[in-house]
Structure formats: structure tokens, C-alpha cells
Amino acid sequence: MSGTRLNFDEPIGDGITRLRFSPESNNLLISSWDSKFRLFDVDSNRLRLEAQTEAAHLDCCFESGFIAYSAGSDGSVCRYDLHSGAYGAIGRHDDVATCIEYSDATGQVITTGWDGKILSWDSRIEAASQEHLIGLTSHAESMSVWGFELLVATGSLVHKHDLRKLDGAVHKQDLSMGVPIRCMRSVCPNLCWEGFAVGSVDGRVTLQSNSEEMEYLSAIHYWNIANNDDDLFTFRCHPKSKNGKYHLVAVNDITFNPSVRGAIVTGDDEGYVIAWDARRRRRLLELPRCPNSVAALSYNHTGEFLAIASSYTCQEANEIEDHPQIFIQEMGESHFRSASAKSSS
């Protein structure tokens, strides 16, 4: 794997579940199964915060540059002051809390869990109180928030909610992929179009648009929520051939470059990180293979640096149970221009 490896005095002791760059700096939030909540300063290559908790952390998110949250294996939803290091639970699920997001538009912390519930908490209240409860038919595999839109993936279903009226009607759509969804991410707002991307366990990615702008963005797998299944276009993200058959590899994470229009990056269970030009419907570049599965990806706020978590995910039988590693790869606008020029020649 190329790029700079982050140095920890004490290695991360168990699988990484999520990476999140700060919206304001190059501080990187890290959640993992070893029950330690970490904040790493990428610029100075040093650990700024390590909070030991009782539960493993399945997800994390920022509210601001100095406030963050985590979803715990004991159902806890915790808030962290990244300046003082103080933390405490703001609420709890009845089972494992799996996903967490923060909405700038509403000031809500949104969580899901194995209890089949979507809960929201008003972060603007000093003692954050639970506001809404929504029941799901099964537990959520992934969740994403942008603006007032909340997206939750269960099985092959995408549930679309309006955060302004969580008790109102919900739009449900089956992607007809025939396989479960592994990850789902809202499109970066700087890309001039609205929508989301979904990665499946069989190596496909869906790019869904809320506008006509996306009609040409069928880079990997295109589906428009307003149309019927006849408009479905499928392309395998990471085709692997063994004895003439497809070897299907799960897409574990998807991220969008916030400064390069149409640039997306995927990471899979076999350790491959691939950049795509969604506008021109082609693969741009493939990074050297990671030593383990790609568990998580995150772009910094300027789109210059990509954080890559190389970690076992307990999804593949041939994964190596070494200490997880995090790499920082320069992959900004100049890299995409260079890769695009080479692929055109």
C-alpha cells in the first residue's frame, strides 16, 4: 500500500469500523472494536485523544471540530468534548447501536441499532433528549444524512425520511440487486448534484440521482428513484474472475472527493481502493493493494487527502487478523487530472 501510514504508540487492538475527517481540519476520528475512541492529528502525525470506554464503537461522527459522537456495542450513544476529553452517554438503544450521523440542518444526532429503531437526539439541548422513534422491519446496515434527508439501508431496501417530520410518510425503494447493501453514502454537496451511492456485498455500486444532472452518471451502476426497474443499469465495481466465474467482493465503503466533480473512491474486502470518474463512466486508477480488507474511507474537507483503514472486517475467511493500519494517500484534483489524462491517451 502506498501513502503515509499513521503511527500509533500502541497499535489499534481490533477491527476499525469507521473513519471520519473533521469538517474543519485534518483531525481524523477513528472508531473500532477495541473500545477506544481516537482522534488523530494527521498534520502532526500524532494522537490527540484516546478515550477508553466499556463498549466497542461501531460508528462515529463529528458535530463540529470539537464535538463528536459514537455508537456503542452496548447500545450507548456517547458525546465527546474533543478539547477536554470528557465524554458521556446521551442515550441508549435496546440493543447494539450500529450507525450514527449528525445533521447540520436540524442539530439532530440520528442513530440506528439492532433493536430495529431509528432514534434522534436534539444536540442543542444541554441534556440531549430523545425526540423521535421510528421502527424498522430489520436492523439498519448503513445510514447517511445530508440536509433534511435521512437515508437508511436495510437488506436491499433504502428508506428515505424527512428530518423535519420523522413521524411522516417514508419512501421505500427496493434496488432489486438481489443481495444486501453493505454501505451507503450521500453525495458530497460540492459535486453540483444531489443523490447517494450504495455499495453491495457482491461488488456493485449504485449511484442514485435526485436531479437530471445525473442522467450521464452511470459510472458503475445507475438507478433513478423516480423511474421504474427498466432504467436500471448494472456494472460490477470489482470484477474478479476465478475459473471463468465471478468472484464477488463486497464494497465496504464509498467516498466522494469534495473538490473534484464526479470523482468517487471505493474500497473492498480484498484490499483494493479504486478511483472512478463518474462523469465519464470509467475507472481512473487503482492504488497498490492494502495488506488487509479496506474497512473504511474518508476524504478531508479540502479533498486533498484520503484516509484508508486497512483492517479485518470478519467478512472474508482469508482476512489476516493483524493490527489494523491507517494510510493517508494524497488523492486531490491534480491526481485525478493526471489519471484522467493517462486513461484518455
For the segment 115-125, what is each residue's pLDDT rounded down to a tens digit?
999 999 888 77
**How far is it, in rounded angstroms, from Cα 70 to Cα 100?**
7
Residue found under cell 444531489 = 194
Residue 315 has a pLDDT of 64
Q: What is the largest CA-CA distance in the chain?
A: 60
Is the model's pLDDT at 63 over the cut of 90?
Answer: yes
Alpha helices in the chain, H assignment, sequence order: 333-344
**How far is it, in rounded angstroms, from Cα 252 to Cα 269?**
7
pTM of the model: 0.88
Residue 298 has a pLDDT of 97
Residue 218 has a pLDDT of 33
Residue 186 has a pLDDT of 86
pLDDT digits (tens, 9 = 90+) for 180-210: 899 999 876 555 556 788 888 888 887 776 6
Chain centroid offset of residue 208 CA: 16
- pLDDT bucket at 332, cuts 50 / 70 / 90: confident
In DSSP terms, 197 is beta-bridged to: 185, 207
Is the model's pLDDT at 126 over the cut of 50?
Answer: yes
Tell me the domains of the chain and their CATH numbers: 15-168 (2.130.10.10), 175-345 (2.130.10.10)
Is the alpha carbon torsion for 198, 202, 203, 206 positive or negative?
Answer: negative
- Least reliable range by pLDDT among 12-21, 137-146, 161-170, 196-205: 161-170
Q: Report yes or no: 34 and 51 within 8 Å, Cβ to Cβ.
A: no
Share of the chain above pLDDT 70, in %: 78
Q: Which of 218, 234, 307 is nearest to 267 (CA)?
A: 307
Number of H helices, E strands in the chain: 1, 31
Q: Which of 23, 29, 89 is nearest to 60 (CA)?
A: 29
Residue 179 has a pLDDT of 81
Residue 228 has a pLDDT of 39
Q: In angstroms, what CA-CA distances link 32 with 71, 95, 163, 232, 290?
A: 10, 18, 28, 36, 18
- pLDDT bucket at 220, cuts 50 / 70 / 90: very low
- pLDDT bucket at 26, cuts 50 / 70 / 90: very high
Which of helix, strand or coil describes residue 129? coil
Q: Report yes or no: 252 and 240 within 8 Å, Cβ to Cβ.
A: no
- pLDDT bucket at 305, cuts 50 / 70 / 90: very high
- pLDDT bucket at 111, cuts 50 / 70 / 90: very high
